[in-house]
Amino acid sequence: MSVTIHIENFGNLKFELYCKESPNACKNFLALSAKNYYTNSKFHRNIKGFILQGGDPTGTGKGGASIYGQYFNDEINEGLKHDRRGILSMANSGPNKNGSQFFITYAKQTSLDGKYTIFGKLIDGFDTLEKLEHEAVGKNNRPLNDIKIEDITIHANPIADQDFEEQNEQNEEALAKQE
């Protein structure tokens, strides 16, 4: 399962989503994306060497809600770490307070482990991420020039993928019985 975030005047960021490890975060992000919730929203926080944060339709960094109501609980997975550039995580205002905001790491950030739900990793668009990291910022690390989401493309249907995997398993079992 993957998505591409199309960023106006910068390029694309393609992410593999961790639907099995973080199902609620992925469902939230996918549903909001499908409803164009993020379309035309701006990344409001850009800290070189740390993170790029967005997902707030108000653009202030104080707004946004999940599909589950205001917030949903953390999905902390010990096997997932902020161990590289391009980790996609939910931003929150405290434990179990995930809404619509998310961030992308610019580097390894182990201090974030266990505090934020990781739900994906960058698989294409590292050049775009590099350009974004070096954008000028002003007060409160707010970009001086808009970094705006044009659209988000959802590349795969997890239900269809699941059905395909189940069908492959059934086919393999049938072949094994024939041998």
CATH code at position 168? 2.40.100.10
Question: If you average pLDDT over every residue of the chain, what do you get?
Answer: 91
How many Å apart are CA 84 and CA 77, to the nearest integer? Answer: 16
The secondary structure element, H or E, covering residue 91 is strand 87-92
* Domain with 64 in it: 2-178
Mean pLDDT value of segment 47-69: 94
pLDDT at 69: 86
Structural contact between residues 118 and 110, judged by C-beta atoms closer than 8 angstroms: no
How many Å apart are CA 115 and CA 141, to the nearest integer? Answer: 21
Task: Give the count of domains, the chain.
Answer: 1
- The pLDDT > 90 percentage for the chain reads 82
For 71-128, the pLDDT digits (tens) are 999 999 999 999 999 999 999 999 999 999 999 999 999 999 999 999 999 999 999 9
Instruction: Show Cβ contacts of residue 111 under 8 Å, excluding neighbours closer than 6 positions.
Output: none
